[in-house]
Each structure stands twice: as structure tokens, then as C-alpha cells.
């Protein structure tokens, strides 16, 4: 089975570099002026291998297995334009977010746009730079069809990229999307100088929120403590490599943040606020992050927002 990747950002390029160690891979980007330089500015310091073909022509993407490594908020527009081209293939979502327009995750969006496709999700604790440098990384491959999950697991594992499989697509996908919100909150707590104890509370209570919403949306509770949920939550809340965490740091310390940086947690927090309201679920940390990101709540009110709630059982 051949492999192609849509989206030549940091993650798409890192996956392409890793998979090219096993065979030919095609990487599609809308703007690939950098291709001749042998390095993608979104993934600096990583040499692009010769087994990697880079193109900006979608008609050259003929692979049976296509990884969609676009941010969640642009995936819908891409699918609306190119659904016919990709229907019927193995389509693997690599995005970690919930679409604001439809309040659904990438797997549902792909399945709706391409009903004949085999839809899967690749997620888990993994910074693009780590994958591209061949550092050991473990991810989750989720697909509702157990046989397809096994085939994709084999196809997409490399010597340094170890994939575990599950059939819980919604659980795996929500873990990756929701942890980005909590990472913003953890960054804000550190940026505001609230300390490591506060961060631990944000991680733990944030995980409780993740579990509450994910199970209400049909996830299996045992998926959330795995790589795609707790694993990625821990990574993203504790490392300045994370853009979501750094965005939170900037919010908490009233510092500017580079516009145009992909921060999935900001829009996803707004989507989660709407979903939680619809389902009648309490998501105080997610609501706070949505308010901070939209400028509705100032950092000076963040603590009151969380601490002035009624005392309750854990
Ligand atoms: N970076 C990481 O460590 C990891 C990222 N992810 C997830 O992967 C997804 C992608 O993130 P990442 O690669 O890091 O993001 P980047 O910001 O590095 O890249 C985003 C890519 O999307 C492209 N893009 C944006 N809008 C469009 C569009 N309308 N049509 C076509 N292409 C478009 C950009 O193209 P252009 O350059 O032309 O703007 C760019 O190549 C996110 O959901 C993220 O959460 C998951 C795990 C790790
Ligand atoms: O998802 C990631 C690590 O698993 C990357 O996190 P950021 O998008 O916050 O950089």
C-alpha cells in the first residue's frame, strides 16, 4: 500500500520524513517554494530524504492511504473541495481539534464528506521535531474496522514510531483535541506565576473534563487514560515545545504571541463550550480557555472563575 500526506506543515512533514525510511512517500503542500532547499521552514534543521516526493499538484496523489495533516479548522474547506478525489481510500486524520462550524471532529468530517472511505485517526504524544529526528515515539492508530486498523498500524509504524491500535475512533480523537485546551490553561497558570501545584490541578481537573465530555459523546472511558488522552495531555501541559502551552504562557504573562501559529486549543475550546452547553455538562476549564482566547475574560479574573465555584466532591 502506498502512502501520501496532505499538508506540508510541521506534522505532515515530520510524518513524511519518518515514513520515507520505509519506502516512497508523497507529500502535498499548497505552497512548496521551500522544496528545492531540502528543508521545510516549518520544520527547521531536518533534512528531507530523497525517498520523499513533494508536490503542490493534488492530481499526483494516487496513494491508497492518505494522511490528512491539516489543522482541524481548515479541514472542512479542503474536504468540501476535494471529497470526490479522496473518497474510497484509507483516510487517516492527523488533526487534533473540533471543527467550530459543525462541532464535530475530523473523523466525522472525513466520513461525512467521503462515505466510501476507510476513516482512521493517528494521534498521541508526539512533537513533529521529535518524530522527524527519529526519537522514539508511541502513537495511537484508531479505526472502527479492526482489520483495517491492523493493516494501517503495520503500514504506518516505523523503526522509531511505534503505533498501538484501537477501534475507539471517537475516544482517540477527542483525547487529542481536548488536551490542547487544557495545555493552554496549564500554560496560562505557569505564565501567571501560579506555580507547579496549580498546573497539576489544571492537568488533573482538566482530565476529568476530558473524560466527562468524551464519554458523553460516545468514547470508551478506558481510551482516555491511554496515549491519545492522558499521554498527550501530560506531554503538552509540561513542554514548551507545545504551541498550545506557549500560547497559554503568553496569555498568562500578558506577552504577545506570534500570529499565524497553529493553536488548535483556542477554537476547540469554543466548540467544546457549545457542545457542553448542548449536553448540559460542566466544563469550567474549557469555558475559561474559550473566554480567555476570545478576550471575554481577562487573566485577572481567571482565578475567580475557577475558585469561586461551589465546593464539591472529587
Ligand atoms: N506540530 C506537531 O508537533 C503536531 C501537530 N499535530 C496536529 O497536526 C495538525 C497540523 O499541525 P501542524 O502541521 O503542526 O501545523 P503547521 O502550522 O506547522 O502547518 C499547517 C499546514 O496547514 C497548511 N494549511 C493551512 N490552511 C490550509 C488550507 N486552507 N489548505 C491547504 N493547506 C493549508 C499550511 O500551509 P501554508 O504553509 O501554506 O500556510 C501548513 O502547511 C494540527 O491539528 C496539529 O494539532 C499533531 C501532532 C503533533
Ligand atoms: O499535539 C502535539 C503533541 O502531541 C503538538 O502540540 P502543539 O500543537 O501544542 O504544539
Q: How confident is the model at residue 239 (pLDDT cuts 50, 70, 90)?
A: very high
Provide the pairing of β-strand 118-123 with 137-143.
antiparallel
Q: How confident is the model at residue 304 (pLDDT cuts 50, 70, 90)?
A: confident
pLDDT at 235: 98
pLDDT at 139: 98
pLDDT at 6: 98
To the nearest whole percent, how much of the chain has pLDDT over 70?
100
To the nearest whole percent, how much of the chain has pLDDT over 90?
96
pLDDT at 252: 96
Give residues with Cβ within 8 angstroms of 131, minimum separation 6: 14, 15, 17, 18, 137, 160, 161
DSSP 83-137: HHHHTTSEEEE---S--TTTS--HHHHHHHH-TTSEEEEEESS--HHHHHTT--E
- The reported pTM is 0.98
Return the CA Rg of the chain: 19
Q: Which three cell numbers stand for residue 188?
A: 496560562
Q: Contact, 227 vs 172, CB < 8 A?
A: no
How far is the C-alpha of 86 from the C-alpha of 304, rounded, in Å? 48
Residues tagged in the binding site annotation? 11, 30, 96, 124, 126, 128, 179, 232, 242-244, 264
How far is the C-alpha of 242 from the C-alpha of 126, rounded, in Å? 10
Residues 203-230 have a mean pLDDT of 98
How far is the C-alpha of 214 from the C-alpha of 121, rounded, in Å? 15
Around ligand 1, the residues with Cβ closer than 6 Å are 7-12, 29-31, 42, 69-72, 74, 77-78, 94-97, 126-128, 262, 264
Q: How confident is the model at residue 103 (pLDDT cuts 50, 70, 90)?
A: very high
Q: Which atom of ligand 2 is nearest to the CA of 180?
A: 9
Q: Contact, 63 vs 2, CB < 8 A?
A: yes
Please determine, for residue 165, whether its predicted confidence score (pLDDT) is greater than 90: yes
pLDDT at 1: 74
Q: How confident is the model at residue 197 (pLDDT cuts 50, 70, 90)?
A: very high
pLDDT at 238: 98
Q: How far is the CA of 235 from the centre of ligand 2 (A)?
A: 8
Q: How confident is the model at residue 91 (pLDDT cuts 50, 70, 90)?
A: very high
How far is the C-alpha of 108 from the C-alpha of 261, rounded, in Å? 25
Average pLDDT for the chain: 97
Nearest ligand to residue 69 Cα:
1
Please determine, for residue 308, whether its predicted confidence score (pLDDT) is greater than 90: no
Residues 109-114 have a mean pLDDT of 98
Please give the ipTM for the structure prediction.
0.99
Q: State the CB neighbour count (10 A cutoff) for residue 46.
A: 20
Q: How far is the CA of 160 from the centre of ligand 1 (A)?
A: 22
pLDDT at 297: 96
Q: Contact, 228 vs 246, CB < 8 A?
A: no
> Cell 461525512, residue?
112
Catalytic machinery residues? 179
pLDDT at 45: 96
Residues 239-268 have a mean pLDDT of 97
257-294 exposure pattern, b = at least 16 Cβ within 10 A, e = fewer: eeeeebbbbbbbbbbbbebbeeeebebebbbbbbbbbe
Amino acid at each position: 500500500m502506498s502512502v501520501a500526506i496532505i499538508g506540508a506543515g510541521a506534522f505532515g512533514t515530520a510524518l513524511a520524513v519518518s515514513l520515507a525510511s520505509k519506502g516512497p512517500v508523497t507529500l502535498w503542500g499548497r505552497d512548496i517554494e521551500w522544496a528545492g532547499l531540502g528543508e521545510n521552514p516549518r520544520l527547521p534543521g531536518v533534512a528531507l530524504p530523497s525517498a520523499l516526493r513533494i508536490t503542490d499538484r493534488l492530481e499526483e496523489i494516487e496513494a491508497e492511504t492518505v494522511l490528512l495533516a491539516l489543522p482541524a479548522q481548515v479541514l472542512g474547506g479542503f474536504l468540501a473541495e476535494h471529497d470526490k478525489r479522496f473518497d474510497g481510500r484509507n483516510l487517516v486524520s492527523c488533526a487534533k481539534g473540533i471543527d467550530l462550524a459543525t462541532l464535530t471532529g475530523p473523523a466525522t468530517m472525513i466520513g461525512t464528506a467521503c462515505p466510501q472511505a476507510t476513516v482512521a485517526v493517528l494521534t498521541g504524544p508526539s512533537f513533529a521535531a521529535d518524530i522527524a529526528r527519529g526519537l522514539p515515539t508511541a502513537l495511537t492508530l484508531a479505526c472502527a474496522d479492526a482489520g483495517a486498523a491492523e493493516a494501517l498500524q503495520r503500514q504506518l509504524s516505523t523503526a522509531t514510531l511505534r503505533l498501538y491500535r484501537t477501534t475507539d475512533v471517537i475516544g482517540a480523537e477527542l483525547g487529542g483535541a481536548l488536551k490542547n485546551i487544557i495545555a493552554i490553561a496549564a500554560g496560562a497558570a505557569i505564565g501567571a506565576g501560579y506555580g507547579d501545584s496549580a498546573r497539576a490541578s489544571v492537568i488533573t481537573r482538566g482530565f476529568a473534563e476530558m473524560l466527562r465530555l468524551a464519554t458523553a459523546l460516545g468514547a470508551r472511558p478506558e481510551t482516555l487514560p491511554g496515549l491519545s488522552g492522558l499521554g498527550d495531555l501530560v506531554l503538552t501541559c509540561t513542554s514548551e515545545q507545545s504551541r498550545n502551552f506557549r500560547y497559554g504562557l503568553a496569555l498568562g504573562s500578558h506577552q504577545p504571541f506570534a500570529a499565524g501559529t497553529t493553536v488548535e486549543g483556542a477554537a476547540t475550546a469554543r466548540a467544546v463550550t457549545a457542545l457542553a452547553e448542548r449536553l448540559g455538562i460542566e466544563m469550567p476549564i474549557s469555558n475559561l480557555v474559550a473566554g480567555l482566547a476570545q478576550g471575554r475574560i481577562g487573566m485577572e479574573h481567571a482565578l475567580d472563575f475557577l475558585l469561586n465555584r461551589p465546593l464539591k466532591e472529587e
